[in-house]
Amino acid sequence: MTIKVSLGDDAFTPDLRFTPEVAEATQPIYEKVRGIIPEVEWPVHAPYIARINELKRELNAIVLAHNYQTPEIFHGVADLSGDSLALAQQAAATDADVIVLAGVHFMAETAKLLNPQKTVLIPDLEAGCSLADSITAADIRLLRESYPGVPVVTYVNTSAEVKAESDICCTSANAVAVVESLGVDRVLFLPDEYLANHVAANTDVEIIAWKGHCEVHERFTGAEIRAYRESFPGIRVLAHPECPADVLDEADFVGSTSGMINHVDETRPARVVMITECSMSDNVTVNFPDVEFVRPCNLCPHMKRITLPRILRSLETMTFKVEVDPEIAVAARRAVERMLEVGRGEAK
29 or 121, CB closer to ligand SF4? 121
Q: Site mask, ligand 13P, residues 92-131, x = CB under 6 A?
A: ----------------------------------------
- DSSP alpha helices (H): ranges in the chain? 20-33, 42-59, 71-74, 84-93, 105-114, 137-146, 160-164, 175-181, 193-200, 222-231, 245-250, 257-267, 279-285, 308-317, 326-342
**Angle, helices 326-342/105-114, rounded to nearest 10 degrees:** 90
What is the size of the binding site for ligand SF4 (CB under 6 A)?
13
Q: Site mask, ligand 13P, residues 252-291, x = CB under 6 A?
A: ----xx----------------------------------
Q: Which does 83 bind (CB under 5 to 8 A by kind): ligand SF4, ligand 13P, none?
A: ligand 13P
Which letter does DSSP use for residue 329 in this model?
A: H
Residue 130 binds to ligand SF4 (criterion: CB under 6 A) = yes
- Of the residues 131, 162, 207, 339, which one makes contact with ligand SF4 according to CB under 6 A: 131
**Angle, helices 326-342/84-93, rounded to nearest 10 degrees:** 110
CA separation for the pair 114, 130 (Å, rounded)? 23
26 or 84, CB closer to ligand 13P? 84
Query: HSE (CB half, 13 Å, CA atoms) of 189?
Result: 31
Residue 129 binds to ligand SF4 (criterion: CB under 6 A) = yes
- Per-residue burial over 115-142, b = 16 or more CB atoms within 10 Å of its CB, e = otherwise: beebbbbbbbeebbbbbbebbebebbee
Q: In angstroms, what is the minimal distance from the CB of 201 to ligand SF4?
A: 20
Residue 171 binds to ligand 13P (criterion: CB under 6 A) = yes
Q: Which does 109 bind (CB under 5 to 8 A by kind): ligand 13P, ligand SF4, none?
A: none
161 or 218, CB closer to ligand 13P? 218
26 or 166, CB closer to ligand 13P? 166
